[in-house]
Amino acid sequence: MKYFFLTTMSILLCSAGTYAQNPVNFTPVPHVEANIRQAQNTERKTFAQFKFTEKERTHDFGDIPEGPKVTHTFTFVNTGNEPLIVSNAQASCGCTSPEFSKEPVLPGQKGKITVTYATQGRPGNFTKSVYLTSNARTENGAERYELFIKGNVLPEKK
């Protein structure tokens, strides 16, 4: 009796497993499928995007005398389709100070980042970074956009 019961249960479990492996035939409803495709095609891709007018994101001051502060203004255009908001601009050291507008830069409009470098007591070559935090999409997927200034401070003649 025990052998009969185990054999019967084994056959039932195997046949149930076999039926579970067969895929269920699904016939899509045409109007539902069309609505899904339409929703995917009309999904808007929105983003803000920096495009600087300089060929590179680096400004070279060249040879400059020690003492006075030097300033450069980087100009960019928002080539995205959302307002570009710069939330922070941070320099790589205390000798460099960036300034930026807190107002959103609308698509197609220009914005400015002004960077000032203090040369007093800093003779020699320098390269400094300014990190921009914003809602803009970067070309390499980085969280921040980076600008550079460089130059050579000529020592003060005594």
Across all residues in the chain, what is the average pLDDT?
80
149, 130 contact by CB (below 8 A)? yes
The span from the CA of 153 to the CA of 106, in Å, is 37
| H, E, C per residue of 114-136 | EEEEECCCCCEEEEEEEEEEECE
pLDDT by residue (tens digit) across 3-27? 666 677 677 666 655 555 555 454 5
Q: Give CATH for domain 50-154.
A: 2.60.40.10
The domain limits of the chain are 50-154
Q: Is the pLDDT of residue 158 over 80?
A: no
pLDDT by residue (tens digit) across 135-155? 887 777 777 889 999 999 999
For residues 95-99, give the mean pLDDT.
96
Q: Is the pLDDT of residue 68 over 50?
A: yes
